[in-house]
Structure 1
Amino acid sequence: MSEHAAQHPRQQATTVKDLEEEGEVGADYLEEFLDIVDLGGDIDIDVDHGRASVAIIASEEGDERELADLVGRDGEVLEAIQELTRLAVQVRTGNRSRLMLDINGYRAGRRAELTKIAEEAVTRVKATGDPVALESMNPFERKVCHDVVAAAGLFSESEGTEPHRHVVVMLPEESDDSQDADGLDTEGGARPGHEVTDAAAAAADDEQA
């Protein structure tokens, strides 16, 4: 690949074949990374909701404890490794990568927790009619909440600035007219019936996740 391609990446991969290639390149990079830090683990590759998905899982007893160090507090180390992996894929393929990385099942577990939190907020909003503000979250976490809220027929938007950016859940009639034609507002929210999907790259939270 030319230096020009590395400096000016094309749009992110859109076909299953492209995404599978992203996953394979990402897996190669992570295998080398594990060798460097002298940690064990198996690597699974998948395509999930329009993104390449790579997971590092424990292969032997004791690996889980060591892999926990690669997750870090609130997933901070995981986010950093994911970004490095995306950059490695971009350099190799010339495509902007939105690969999702999970380590030790952290994201899967966090997704379940966030789904419950968002569902509880939906219940409160439907019962009281009042908006509910959730805790501060990173882009991945906010996107999970947006999807849950939209699927429930309510409206959500992101407010505040990093690292205190958070999701606000509200009834549809309380939302403003800032959404675009795809059902997304400029801050990464979603109107009812328009789930914030990976294909909607214009949404701020999805763009950063």
Structure 2
Amino acid sequence: MLRSVIKEAKTVDEALRQALEELGIDEDQAEIEIINEGNKGLLGLIGNKNAVVKVTEKLNIEIIVKDFLEPLFEKMAIEADMEITMEDGLINIRLTGDDVGIIIGRRGETLDALQYLLSLVINRYTLDYTRVILDVADYRKKRAETLQRLAKRVAEKVSRTRRNITLEAMNPYERRISHSSLQEFPNINTQSVGEEPNRKVVIRYAPGIDR
């Protein structure tokens, strides 16, 4: 979770300085809440109240991502460059480098596992759910294009033979690609069957469905 401290001192500035120093951050990296501005009391002698300030470090997605991935890559003896972009509710992390292919794993299984773990870490710090996409050298884009071509090729065969065909087991993301790529295909519908991690897409002949 994000670190936070409460400091009490004679002035707001002094309490703020102490809090920033303890957290080891600059003021522009902090969320600052003045709980009590303090006062000097009567004649500066009676009823003095110290200022109280709460300082919380701001969410820095780039630091969170690097703190999670860099130690893993070091253990795997991998040098990877990271490109991190953020939009509303979405974080894209693109990895490039000479040895990053090993991160993909068989049919993207290692990449999917890392993406899942990274999503858990990031969403510990966010109030609203944030979607995380971890990609290696545009693997996901290329994989999506391959799945789209496969689904359409199989759908054409199903239309000719009028026999249903079941694709290989896929993760939820890849199944969504297969389903969506055939939404406009005439006389074809799709259905996911089975249990994870062996859930598959069935491409069915459905006469009368004219899109």
TM range (shorter): 0.5 to 0.7
In structure 2, C-alpha distance between the alignment counterparts of 1:192 and 1:137, rounded to whole Å: 27
Paired position in structure 2 for 1:76:
109
Paired position in structure 2 for 1:160:
194
Paired position in structure 2 for 1:52:
90
Residue 51 of structure 1 and its aligned partner are, at CA, apart by 6.4
In the alignment, structure 1 residue 30 sits paired with structure 2 residue 65: yes
Paired position in structure 1 for 2:82:
42
Aligned with 2:124: secondary structure? helix
- Count of residue pairs brought into register by the alignment: 149
From the CA coordinates, give the structure whose radius of gyration is larger: 2
If each structure's helix is expressed as a fraction of its own residues, which one has the higher value?
A: 1
Unpaired segments of 5 or more residues in structure 2? Answer: 3-58
**1:125-144 correspondence to structure 2 within 5 Å:** 125-144=158-177
Higher relative contact order (CA 8 A, sep 6+): 1
Q: Percent identity?
A: 26
Paired position in structure 1 for 2:178:
145
In structure 1, C-alpha distance between the alignment counterparts of 2:203 and 2:155, rounded to whole Å: 7
Aligned with 2:167: secondary structure? strand
TM-score normalised by L of structure 2? 0.60
* Residue deviations 1:155-187 (CA, integer Å, cap 9, x gap): 10101112221100113359xxxxxxxxxxxxx
Residue 150 of structure 1 and its aligned partner are, at CA, apart by 1.0
> Cα RMSD between the aligned structures?
2.8
Letter in structure 1 aligned against 2:178: C
Letter in structure 2 aligned against 1:170: R
Displacement over 4 Å in runs of 4+: 24-27
Residues 27 and 69 (structure 1), Cα distance of their counterparts in 2 relative to 1, 3 Å cut = farther
Unpaired segments of 5 or more residues in structure 1? Answer: 3-23, 175-190, 194-209
Letter in structure 2 aligned against 1:54: N
In the alignment, structure 1 residue 107 sits paired with structure 2 residue 107: no
Pick one of 105, 125, 129 that aligns with 1:92: 125
* Residue deviations 1:108-160 (CA, integer Å, cap 9, x gap): 12111111110111111221222111111111111110011113243101011
If each structure's strand is expressed as a fraction of its own residues, which one has the higher value?
A: 2
Q: Is the 8 A contact 2:91 2:130 kept in 1?
A: no
